[in-house]
Structure 1
Amino acid sequence: MKKILWLGALVIGLLINTNVQAQYYDGGEMTWEELGRIEWKNYYDELLGIDVQEPIFNSDLMMKDGEMITITGFIIPVDTDDNTMILSAFPFSNCFFCGNAGPETVMQLDLKHDRSLLNKKVTLKGRLKLNQNDFYKLVYNLKDSEVINVQ
């Protein structure tokens, strides 16, 4: 009898915990304002021979790492060997790569290169991945990206 009660309590506890997590974040629209709530740690990288910044993500962002989200932004043109697609909070003229915004305003996409999307405002769905350690990659990555809407 004790085993049955213990097992029942465990199952109820797991259900409650799962429900609390689902209430906290439902995989809905994520904003660039939320993504901008990071701090930066500066340090000298001996291999590169320069000062670099490492993002420090708040607990809200850490909880969303790996979660499905939707986000709206502008597909900006970048010239890379692997045809990388980048989503920006701002149009190309104001984007991070033009020097008018920070690295928290762009996101690398796991999306097939499609020139028809360049410079267009789009809404995408995908799995958010945070990058804290690889200086050579963007801070945010949207894995398994798919276009939901093109404006």
Structure 2
Amino acid sequence: MKKLSLILLILVGFGFTAQAQHDPNDQIMSANWDVIGNVDFKTVKETEMYAIFNNEIKKYAGKPFELEGYIVPIKDGMKQSKFMLSTLPINQCFFCGKNGVPIMVMVELVEPIKFTYQTVKVKGILKLSTANAMDNPPISLLSGKAL
């Protein structure tokens, strides 16, 4: 859970945008990532931050949503069923010492998939959380499946 908290802190602390150099050919861009990337955050105090969801993303809440991205594991293992999905590969992420913070969402798959450095496509039910983003992922894909 500490890894997840660190990832979330980094994710929300930098406002869901990449801050450093990366290989632009690796960046995943799509209309669905644009919807997620437009989420803002309100800091209440050092330990509290809340996502502010606009109407565009709210219309997808509770509905199937598809994303392509890179797996960022939160647990060890070659099979992953719960992980962060990123617009940049793990070797270009801030907490790996290489780059800025990419857009990420939490993914929970019904069936685990093998970890890969290549992109994966997933589809799940989009969940928006109004809980403290320092403790919980503000955006998740639940009951997901790899496509």
Please name the residue that 1:140 is paired with: 139
Asked if the contact 2:48–2:132 (Cα under 8 Å) also holds between the matched residues in 1, the reply is no
How big is the shift at 1:97? 4.3
Identify the match of residue 65 of structure 1 among 55, 61, 67. Answer: 61
Please name the residue that 1:41 is paired with: 42
Following superposition, which runs of at least 4 residues in structure 1 exceed 6 angstroms of deviation? none
Q: Say whether 1:100 aligns with 2:96.
A: no
Determine which structure has more spread, i.e. the larger CA radius of gyration: 1
Distance in 1 (alpha carbons) for counterparts of 2:31 and 2:126: 10
Could you tell me which runs of 5 or more consecutive residues in structure 2 were left unpaired when the two chains were aligned. 1-29
Aligned length: 111
Distance in 2 (alpha carbons) for counterparts of 1:65 and 1:108: 14
Please name the residue that 1:3 is paired with: none
> Greater share of helix residues, 1 or 2?
1
Distance in 2 (alpha carbons) for counterparts of 1:107 and 1:62: 15
| Cα 1:97/1:63, change in 2 over 3 Å | farther
How big is the shift at 1:52? 3.2
Q: Which has the higher contact order (CA 8 A, sep 6+)?
A: 2
TM-score, normalised relative to structure 2: 0.64
- Residue-by-residue CA offset, 1:34-69 (whole Å, 9 max, x unaligned): 11112211111xxxxx34321101011111111101
Sequence identity percentage: 23
| Cα 1:108/1:60, change in 2 over 3 Å | same
Letter in 2 for 1:76: V
Secondary structure of 1:60's aligned partner: helix
Please name the residue that 1:127 is paired with: 125
Asked if the contact 1:88–1:95 (Cα under 8 Å) also holds between the matched residues in 2, the reply is no
CA RMSD across the alignment: 2.4
| Cα 1:57/1:120, change in 2 over 3 Å | same
| Cα 1:134/1:146, change in 2 over 3 Å | same
Secondary structure of 1:31's aligned partner: helix
